[in-house]
Amino acid sequence: MKVCVIGLGLIGGSFALALKGHRLAECVYGVDASSRHAEKALELGLVDEIVSLDKAVEVADVIAIATPVDAIPQLAIKLLNRVSDKQIVMDMGSTKEELCELISQHPRRNRFVATHPMWGTEHSGPEAAVEGAFAGCNTVICEAEHSDKDAVAEVENIFKGIGMAIMYMSAEKHDTHAAYVSHISHITSFILATTVLEKERESDTILNLAGGGFESTVRLAKSSPDMWIPILMQNKYNILDVLREYIHQLEIFRKAIEKDNREEIRETINRANTIRKILDKK
Amino acid sequence: MKVCVIGLGLIGGSFALALKGHRLAECVYGVDASSRHAEKALELGLVDEIVSLDKAVEVADVIAIATPVDAIPQLAIKLLNRVSDKQIVMDMGSTKEELCELISQHPRRNRFVATHPMWGTEHSGPEAAVEGAFAGCNTVICEAEHSDKDAVAEVENIFKGIGMAIMYMSAEKHDTHAAYVSHISHITSFILATTVLEKERESDTILNLAGGGFESTVRLAKSSPDMWIPILMQNKYNILDVLREYIHQLEIFRKAIEKDNREEIRETINRANTIRKILDKK
């Protein structure tokens, strides 16, 4: 099988490495809009060859789009315009509703598989690609009923082959859940970092006093704007909904501290503690 | 040297283990208000013997208080009432202003060393004690000028002996900085967990979709209310100050998303990204 990965950053680069590491592809081609990224990806051995989009359509059995989410729909449509009934186009983006709507009426929609492998780090670019990524995590496949069975089966094989489990979901449900368990975490981290940098002018003090707790909560604040602005825009309404609730809960907690309401604070922390039961199952 | 640790949970238990691991104490006594914790600490080998507070004063060269911060001032005063001019009393709490004020006029204030080793995890109780804790982190000593030189030197030796570096700070500065780089992170985690649990009723979905990012930002939400309520109360004004700023910054970001203001979002994320420069030095 020949695979072409479009977008050779954290996700695309790690996916290319995983394909090669698990011998799932005899050849991995790469496409990247940035020639610097393309060269770097080749130099790092993430892909075997850099090709044009046209060449990709000519040679690849599977074309995986791993660009920022704002570039995915147009690329998906251009690729579906050109591929045959044997080829498969898939994406790996963090939002699904906009994409699935835009391709919904395409006559070759059936050759597309919309996926979101739930893995990532706060780093970006080809240098951020790591071996062993994705393993042990879940991939969501959205609207599998609109894709050909052979295409879904092939994509499932690839994800299972790199150590992932598969879940199925509507694009709408996916975007709601992703806002809760992924997108909001990035916002809380970005703003925590901003607040601390604003209030704490002595960066040496942050450096010296920050323990593992602080590092853990602001880790995601290192994430790339090029990846995250499109996600925030495409999943805007779900994200605003969770964000409003988060601010509301913070206000309630702030007032409880102001009033020395120990009992209310205790109830909130006890409720927060129950997240342990969920996370420790993992 | 004989050391007695009061409060055999995460911090006290790990400190006892570190003292034994680095052969800094020939004997480590333990005191705990909970007989279950005391028995467990003995069973786990954290301490050599469980003693009463009176016995601790009789036999120990150094007495370290590692209880929740609301219990520290009274214990500190009771111990200072009884110790000799050769003994040392120290605390390991996460707030310092209230404590330092309450002991400031004690005739034996000079035998007290106020410290905050900047290490912790989200776990609690004797079972949370781990070997190798504290190493590579910083300890803050507050108001060292009010402690006898020999007492400060001995406490420094202990912390350096378990692999820590020492910083000096006023109690007031300590509490301000601690609110920024430690206390606020716990609040953002508690409330993130509460919000997600509130909005996301399907806990299986959290379990299946939560990646490393979500886990990292809510890890601290597992922290104990018994430890954290007293910290929130004792450092109330600093914490409210940072919390108000955090909510304010979140509101600004929320409005930027609402208005599709990509440039403002980009500026905020770029500013947040600079936390990388600080954290990556560590």
Same domain, A90 and A189: no
Are residues A70 and A146 located together in one domain of the fold? yes
Indicate whether B201 and B222 sit together in one domain.
yes
| Chain B, window 164-183: residues with a beta carbon less than 8 angstroms from a chain A beta carbon | 167, 177-178, 180-182
A254 and A185, same domain (yes or no): yes
By residue range, what is the domain housing residue A237? 174-279
Q: Which pLDDT tens digit goes with each residue over A171-209? A: 999 999 999 989 999 999 999 999 999 887 777 777 788
- The ipTM (two decimal places) reads 0.93
Q: Check if A278 contacts B (Cβ < 8 Å).
A: yes
Q: Is A201 part of the contact surface with chain B (CB cutoff 8 Å)?
A: no
Residue B164: pLDDT over 90 = yes
B243 touching A, CB under 8 A? yes
CB nearest to B195's CB, from A190, A249, A274: A249
Nearest chain B residue to A253, by CA: B191
pLDDT-derived band at B115, boundaries 50, 70, 90? very high
pLDDT band at B170 (very low <50, low <70, confident <90, very high): very high
Identify whether the C-beta of residue B40 lies closer than 8 Å to the C-beta of residue B126.
yes
Position B168 scores a pLDDT of 97
Determine whether the interchain pair B180/A191 forms a contact, defined as Cβ–Cβ distance below 8 Å: no
CB within 8 Å of chain B, chain A residues 85-144: 118-122, 137-138, 140
Write down the pLDDT at residue A16. 98
Kindly list the residues from chain A whose CB atom is less than 8 angstroms away from the CB atom of residue B214: 181-182, 185
How many Å separate Cα B181 from the centre of its chain?
Answer: 12
For the residues B23-43, what does the mean pLDDT come to?
A: 97
Residue B199: band (very low, low, confident or very high) from pLDDT cuts 50, 70, 90: confident
**Same structural domain, B15 and B103:** yes
Higher pLDDT, A279 or B221: B221
- Domain with residue B108: its CATH number is 3.40.50.720
Cα–Cα distance for residue pair B79/B73, rounded to 1 Å: 10
- State whether A182 and B213 contact (CB < 8 Å): yes
The least confident of A41-55, A149-163, B109-123, B199-213 is B199-213
User: In this complex, is the C-beta atom of B191 within 8 Å of any C-beta atom belonging to chain A?
Assistant: yes
Share of chain B above pLDDT 90, in %: 90
Nearest Cα to A21, choosing from A174, A127, A109, A135? A135
Confidence of residue B213 (pLDDT cuts 50, 70, 90): confident
Mean pLDDT within A240-254: 97
CA distance B11 to chain A (A): 14
* pLDDT of A5 strictly over 90: yes
Q: List Cα–Cα distances, A200 to A194, A278, B1, B228, B255, in angstroms.
A: 10, 34, 39, 22, 24
Domain boundary among B119, B138, B170: B170
Mean pLDDT of chain A: 95
Give mean pLDDT, residues A97-119. Answer: 97
Give the closest of B239, B247, B258 to A240, CB-based.
B258
Report the C-alpha gap between A282 and B5 in whole angstroms.
35
Question: By the CB < 8 Å criterion, does B193 face chain A?
Answer: yes
Tally of domains in chain B: 2
Q: Specify the pLDDT at position B282.
A: 66
The 3-state DSSP class for residue A64 equals strand
Both B142 and B229 in one domain: the answer is no
Neighbours of A53 (CB within 10 A): 16
Residue B50 has pLDDT above 70, yes or no: yes
Task: Quickly state the pLDDT bin for B201 (edges 50, 70, 90).
Answer: confident
Where are any strands of DSSP class E within A155-210? 165-169
Tell me if A265 and B214 make a contact (CB, 8 A cut-off).
Answer: no
pLDDT given for residue B202 in this prediction: 74
Q: Are residues B36 and B117 in the same domain?
A: yes
Q: Do B137 and B214 fall within a single domain?
A: no
Taking the CA of residue A269 and the nearest CA in chain B, the distance in Å comes to: 6
Percent of chain A with pLDDT over 70: 100
Of all residues in chain B, the percent with pLDDT exceeding 70 is 100
Q: Does B35 touch chain A (CB under 8 A)?
A: no
Say how far apart CA B195 and CA A212 lie, in whole Å.
23
Using the Cβ of B200 and the Cβ atoms of chain A, whether some distance falls under 8 Å is answered with yes
What CA–CA distance (Å, rounded) separates B275 from A210? 11
CATH code of B219's domain:
1.10.3660.10
| Mean local confidence (pLDDT), A142-153 | 98
Q: Are residues A6 and A139 in the same domain?
A: yes
A55-96: pLDDT as tens digits: 999 999 999 999 999 999 999 999 999 999 999 999 999 999
Selected for mutation to probe chain B from A209, A249, A264, A271 (highest B CB count within 10 Å) is A209
Same domain, B211 and B270: yes
Over the Cα atoms of chain B, what is R_g?
21
Are B217 and A189 within 8 A, CB to CB? Answer: yes
Q: What is the mean pLDDT of residues B225-233?
A: 97
B210 pLDDT band, cuts 50/70/90, is confident
- CA distance linking residue A205 with residue A208, whole number of Å: 5
Give the pLDDT band (50/70/90) at residue A282: low
Among A157, A151, A155, A47, which Cα is nearest to A109's? A151
Three-state DSSP class for residue A3: strand
Kindly state whether residues A125 and A31 are assigned to the same domain: yes
End residue of a domain, out of A169, A189, A204? A169
Q: Do A276 and B222 touch (CB under 8 A)?
A: yes
What number of C-beta contacts closer than 8 Å exist between A and B?
A: 309
Residues B62 and B128 in one domain: yes
End position of a domain, from candidates A153, A169, A185 = A169
